[in-house]
Amino acid sequence: MKNKFIYLLFIFLFFCNIQFNLFHLIPKERFEYSKAEVSEMLIIGKLLNSQQGGIFEDGGFTGIFYTDHDFSSRNLAGKKSYAKFVNNEHPKKYYYWAYKSQIGGQAILYSVFDKIFGLDNNVEILIFRMLNSLSLSVLLTLILVWVKRKFGLATCVISFLLILPNYWIFLYGKSTWWCNWVYFLPFVYSLFYFEKNKGDYSIKKYISIFSLLFFVKFWFTGFEFITVFLISSAIPYIYYLFENKLSFYFKFIWSHILIVVTPLILTVLFQLYQFKLLTGNFGDGIAHLVDAYSRRANGEYMYKGEYAYLNTLKQYHLDIILRYVGGSFINEDFIKLPFIVIIILGIISSVFLYVKNIDRKLVATTWFSIAAPLSWLILFKEHAHIHPHIDFFIWYCPFLILLIIVISLALSFFFKNMKVIK
C-alpha cells in the first residue's frame, strides 16, 4: 500500500509539473511558449479542417488553416486559426496548407473524438493535453517502479528527485503534436517484460507486441527522432540478454528488423494513401518522402523563400555537440547547469559502481545508450541545428534517465555505507 501511494504521488507530481508548471521548474518563458507551441497549430488546423469537412479532408494531414487571404506567413495564419478555434468559431476556409511529412495520426484520433463528442473546443484541447501529460507521467513512474524492484526504494526516490528538475523531458509533455510519451513505450514495456521472463521469453510475443508499439509511435509522431527511438527501444533487450556471442547479434538484428519493417511499411502505405486523397497520385508521396529525408539528413540541402534564413544555421562542426552539452537541464531562471555537469557526475558514479562491482551491466548499458541521442545529432544534424527548442529532449531517450539511475544507485550505496539511509 505504501509503495502504491508513492507511485501515485510520483504520477501526480509529474503531471502537475507538465500540465501546470506547478513548481516553476520549467522556465516561465518556455512554458508560456509551450502552451501554444508552433507545431501544435498544425493540430488546430487539422481540427478546424475536419470540423468543416471529413476526417480525411485534404488527405487527413495536419496543416495550417487559413482564415483569410493573407498568405504572408504560415505562423501568423496558424495564430489566427488558433484564435478562431478557442473562440469556438467556424471560419471559412480560404486555403489549407497540408503538412505532409507525417501522417498526423494523433490529429486523426483527435478529430474522431471531436466528431463523436462535439465538445467545446477549449475543453477538447484541454482533454487532449491532459491525456498526453498523464501518459508521460505514468510511463516515467513505471520506470521508477522498475528501479524500486531492481535497486530498492532509496534509489527509486533519489531518481525521482533528480529527474523532476530536468525540465526538457517535461517541456512539451502536454503537447498534442509532440506526444513525447510514445518514445518511452517500447522501452518501458520491455523493462518489465524481460524482468518478468528473464531468459525464458517468447520471441514471437516480443516481436508482435514491439511491432504494435512501433506502429503506435509511427502513427503518433511519424519518423521524428527515428534513430533515437530505435536505439532506445533496444536498450532493455541488451541489458537483460546481452551475450558476447555472434549468435546473439544475429538474433538481435533479425528480430529488430522484423519489428521495424512491418509497422514501417504500413505507415508508409497509409501516408501514400493520404497523398492519393490529397493530390490524386502516389508518386507525389514518394517524391515528398525522399525530399523530407534529404532535408533532415543532408547538410547540402538549400532552403528557399521564407525559410532561406535557415541555410545560415547549417554549418556542421563540433559546435552542434557543444551546443547540446552546454544547454542547461535546470531552469535557467534559478541556476544554469549545462548537461555536461550531469554527464560528469554520471562518469564519476559509473566508475564508483564499477569499482564496487555493483550492477556493472547497468553501467555498460547506460553508456551504450548514449548512441541514441548522438545518432540524431550526427546523422540528422540539420534538424538539430534548427530545432534547439525541442531536440534537447533526445538526451532523455533514455540515456540521461539511465544516467540519473546510475547516479542515484551510487548515492544510495554511499548513503547506506554512511548509515544515513538504513
- Work out the angle at residue 179's Cα, subtended by the Cα atoms of residues 86 and 117, and round it to the nearest 5 degrees: 45
Q: What pLDDT, on a 0 to 100 scale, did the predictor assign at position 305? A: 61
Q: What pLDDT, on a 0 to 100 scale, did the predictor assign at position 239? A: 93
Q: What pLDDT, on a 0 to 100 scale, did the predictor assign at position 300? A: 54
Burial of 91 (0-12, 13-18, 19+ CB in 10 A): middle
Q: What pLDDT, on a 0 to 100 scale, did the predictor assign at position 108? A: 97
What CA–CA distance (Å, rounded) separates 106 from 155? 35
Q: What pLDDT, on a 0 to 100 scale, did the predictor assign at position 290? A: 78
What CA–CA distance (Å, rounded) separates 134 from 127? 10
Supply 33's cell numbers.
511558449
Q: What is the mean pLDDT of each run of 10 residues along the chain (422 residues)?
A: 91 97 92 78 96 94 94 90 92 93 95 96 96 98 97 96 97 94 96 86 90 96 93 93 79 88 94 92 81 61 57 62 92 93 97 95 96 90 82 97 98 80 48
Q: What pLDDT, on a 0 to 100 scale, did the predictor assign at position 422? A: 47
Q: What pLDDT, on a 0 to 100 scale, did the predictor assign at position 191? A: 95
Q: What pLDDT, on a 0 to 100 scale, did the predictor assign at position 284? A: 79
What CA–CA distance (Å, rounded) separates 279 from 328? 44
Q: What pLDDT, on a 0 to 100 scale, did the predictor assign at position 226? A: 93
pTM attached to this predicted model: 0.92
